[in-house]
Structure 1
Amino acid sequence: MAGGEGEGTSLEFTPTWVVAAVCTLIVGISLAVERLLHYAGKKLKKAGQKPLFEALQKIKEELMLLGFISLLLTVFQSRIIKICVKESVMEHLLPCSLRDREEATGSKPEAEGTSHLLRHLLAEEATATGYCASKGGKVPLLSLEALHHLHIFIFVLAVVHVTFSVLTVVFGGARIRQWKHWEDSIAKVNFDTSQVLKPRVTHVKDHDFIRNRFVGIGKGSAIRGWLHSFFKQFYGSVTKSDYVALRLGFITTHCKANPKFNFHKYMIRALEDDFRKVVGISWYLWVFVVVFLLLNINGWHTYFWIAFFPFILLLAVGTKLEHIIIQLAHEVAEKHIAIEGELVVQPSDDHFWFHRPRIVLFLIHFILFQNAFEIAFFFWIWVTYGFDSCIMGQVRYIIPRLIIGVFIQVLCSYSTLPLYALVTQMGTHFKKSIFDEHMQAKFVGWAQNAKKKVATNAGTNGSSHDGPSGSGGSAGAGAATAATSAFKGIQLAKLNQSQQS
């Protein structure tokens, strides 16, 4: 038989019906998944959910990347397993000890005797081992079985990450949608003319928002504030008084012309827009995977200690977001004793790390990926090597990892993500999600036309010798002024339109 008995039967001697049946099954599954994603994309576009549609496109990109990785591993596997190195190089930085390897090697023939796939892998590895042995007693750099397991791990990691990200945003979005009745109650008050026009003076420290968030003045107030922020993220992270105060601060700063602006709808759109970044696996996340695989050394228990990193980071993010609300309350309480009308906070980037609210999104992205990595790594080892494998570790290290993983997923979904959706609106600038997709497209098209006109006018005036000097600059300044006016007009039109809808 071609290729030898140990290597199995090649396609030359495989029945055509077997080849056709296997190809039909694989192609059928692939087409079904592709059609499902395509249908989901059409439904999202029809519903006007462009951010979620783009998130779906991001998932398809990840699947395409996985397919390309699979293709590379398959095409070059015969060459990879023939990369030969000295045997002493393979005895350092091992996930399991040499004794564990000897025990696994001793028990391997019995397990392989029942699996045709493992016999096939053993035959190819034997060929690679013989090839490297002929090169002066060397050994393969990576065995075919290890390459196959690495391939499965990359696929499992990507699938688990995408799944966990979707679940986090779905549950977090459901939590945020529960705040809609707060928005509706505020809208009813705004439509009640007698309530709006009724003059009133409010003692600041008697206000619900200040009373719940103000922790006093003095040397210990900062410490009490951080402790209050730390524990607040575990229960009632956002109250109605928080929502009302932050909403009013946003509208007063960015939408003063439209006090009836639907803040809740804007916040949902902003969260959906950010979801596109959360669901992707960026290059720096793959770097983290490589670093972890490098440090997964026997006796270090890296898989255990690294589980605390996203846990601590998530607590830090939640505490920071809660503390920003306290800072906003303190600013009002320190400036005023009593106010006429509503209590208004002042949004500012100064409250965020390095004055950049977007850093919080980056950290949440990293936390979700690292947590998904921990869970994916656990299940991959369990399915591939078994629960008693040396790479799995001891039970006293496994249980805490799983508990931390579940805790991170729940806390991020029901506390941290809703906090992020609300508190990051307290930056100096609003997000482009304040406009719907139709208005965004119009504005981008108008801006491009305005740039072309400015360039054309500047070129015409620069080449003209009859006009006064500096006319090109005047044209550019006029175009810039027109651009600013048009932008403000579009913004006010959008705000009024959103309220009418």
Structure 2
Amino acid sequence: MGYGEGFSLKFTPSWIVAVVCTVFVAISLVFERLLHLAGRKLKEKDRKPLFEALQKIKEELMLLGFISLLLTVFQYTIVKICVNESLMEHLLPCSLSDKGKVEKPKAGYCAKKGKVPILSISAMHDLHIFIFILAVAHVLFSVITVVFGMAKIGQWKQWEDDVTKDNFDHSQVLKPKITHVKDQDFIKNRYFGMGKRSTIRGWLRSFFKQFKGSVTKSDYVALRLGFITSHCKSNPKFKFHKYMIRALEDDFKTVVGISWYLWLYVVLFLLMNVDGLHLYFYISFIPLILLLAVGTKLEHIIIQLAHEVAEKHEAIEGELVVTPSDDHFWFQRPKVVLVFIQFILFQNAFEYAFFFWILVKYGFDSCIMGEKGYIITRLVIGVFIQILCSYSTLPLYALVTQMGTNFKKSIFEDHIQAKVVNWAKQAKKNTPHHDGTNEPAH
């Protein structure tokens, strides 16, 4: 019978082969058609960024299928790689004392040589299932995060409507007038004075601000005006909220993808799954710390924008306008924040994929599951990360990263891109070069 239980295909009734094949083909075709319909709907609604994200998901599924194919094709080749049993007694997920409780390996190709296979078919099958669960969990967690993040951003639409409502005089937005800087709500909420003490206070405020009311209306209005003034000054009616959502949709295809360095992280993670070290527990704090650091940094960028204006001017001519710049971001690259968010979501998905894989395959009391206290703590941290990232960090990212030097031309169709580029060029021609955001009033 070979390596498995039952008969080979030569002695399996044809009707059974046909039925099993039909079921798997039918499921695959239904799934393929659902993806096709989703793509067509996104095209019809002109949601190009989301369509590209869907294509990215298809690429990940194709990669997953290729990995699955390789494991299936080479499983009997791998199982014939024989090693001494002593080599298999180091870096185990479970202790050697638990090894005697499980079934001994069956006699086979390597047993005849007095050795053991480097990886059994059963272990490869388990690994196969884990990779599938990981990929599905990552896509699912990414979608959930973006959906809830979009819902939070959708609440800001009212602020956009308040600024651009029909009876609002757009010509007054950039018309010269005297504005007392420190009387503005944006400055009152975000400016803490000058000196070392105010700097520390600003960072502390940034840390705690991400947990409640991370973005206020005055923040949104100030950052919106700063973006429009820098990139499309000649079009004060620019739909900033819609642009921001499209930009986030464009970033979604990056978040949902599993980059090579994330697969490398998976390999390192599996390597450190050693009994007694509890490295999984300590590693679970990495995304939490990183998420808090990202949220704090994004909040502090808003404070920096407010300080730039408040420290230079008591009063200004015109509206209070902040100046977008890549200098406020880590390494002068706003995209770095997106890479961190991608890693955070992937690590969180990995935690839950690993947990459910062990739970279903080996049970909650399995030695590979680890101590209950560590497991529960990791799960609680994962839930906290998911909630904070969805309702605070991701919306913050969507707004604050618009304060970079450049805007995303790629999210527009060609003719719209041309218009926006023209707006940006016209704005730069009309904007005098000076060291402040506005000239001080005299």
Q: TM-score, normalised by structure 1?
A: 0.81
Using a 3 Å threshold, how does the CA distance of structure 1 residues 181 and 383 change in structure 2: closer, same or farther? same
Give the deviation of 1:13 after TM superposition: 2.0
Residue type of the alignment partner of 2:49: P
Structure 2 counterpart of 1:99: 97
Residue type of the alignment partner of 1:439: H
Residue type of the alignment partner of 1:436: F
Structure 2 counterpart of 1:250: 227
SS at match of 2:367: coil
Choose which of 403, 408, 413 in structure 2 pairs with 1:437: 413
Aligned mates of 1:209, 1:6 — CA distance in 2: 69
Using a 3 Å threshold, how does the CA distance of structure 1 residues 492 and 38 change in structure 2: closer, same or farther? farther
Higher gyration radius (CA): 1
Choose which of 334, 348, 351 in structure 2 pairs with 1:357: 334
Structure 2 counterpart of 1:188: 165
Contact 1:225 / 1:326 at 8 angstroms: preserved in 2?
A: yes
Aligned mates of 2:253, 2:227 — CA distance in 1: 24
Using a 3 Å threshold, how does the CA distance of structure 1 residues 393 and 37 change in structure 2: closer, same or farther? same
Q: Does 1:236 align with 2:236?
A: no
Contact 1:249 / 1:344 at 8 angstroms: preserved in 2?
A: yes
Aligned mates of 2:235, 2:421 — CA distance in 1: 16
SS at match of 2:179: strand
Contact 1:233 / 1:319 at 8 angstroms: preserved in 2?
A: yes
- Percentage of matched positions with identical amino acids: 74
Structure 2 counterpart of 1:289: 266
RMSD of Structure 2 on Structure 1 (CA): 2.3
SS at match of 1:339: strand
Q: TM-score, normalised by structure 2?
A: 0.92
Aligned mates of 2:238, 2:381 — CA distance in 1: 40
Aligned mates of 1:17, 1:356 — CA distance in 2: 60
Contact 1:190 / 1:260 at 8 angstroms: preserved in 2?
A: no
Q: Does 1:54 align with 2:55?
A: no
Choose which of 386, 393, 406 in structure 2 pairs with 1:409: 386
Moved over 4 A (4+): 193-200, 489-493
SS at match of 1:369: helix
Structure 1 counterpart of 2:109: 131
Using a 3 Å threshold, how does the CA distance of structure 1 residues 10 and 185 change in structure 2: closer, same or farther? same
CA deviations on 1:445-495 (whole Å, 9 max, x unpaired) are: xxxxxxxxxxxxxxxxxxxxxxxxxxxxxxxxxxxxxxxx996379779xx
Aligned mates of 1:6, 1:28 — CA distance in 2: 26
The 5 A counterparts of 1:230-379 are 230-379=207-356
Aligned mates of 2:198, 2:366 — CA distance in 1: 51
Give the deviation of 1:138 after TM superposition: 1.9
Give the deviation of 1:7 after TM superposition: 3.6
CA deviations on 1:124-145 (whole Å, 9 max, x unpaired) are: x63xx5322333x221100111
Structure 2 counterpart of 1:205: 182
Using a 3 Å threshold, how does the CA distance of structure 1 residues 319 and 27 change in structure 2: closer, same or farther? same
- Which residues of structure 2 form unaligned runs of 5+? 428-442
CA deviations on 1:64-121 (whole Å, 9 max, x unpaired) are: 1111111111111111111011112111111111001112238xxxxxxxxxxxxxxx
Higher relative contact order (CA 8 A, sep 6+): 2
Aligned mates of 2:233, 2:360 — CA distance in 1: 58
- Which residues of structure 1 form unaligned runs of 5+? 107-124, 444-484, 494-501
Aligned mates of 1:420, 1:18 — CA distance in 2: 53
SS at match of 1:164: helix
Give the deviation of 1:256 after TM superposition: 1.3
Structure 1 counterpart of 2:397: 420
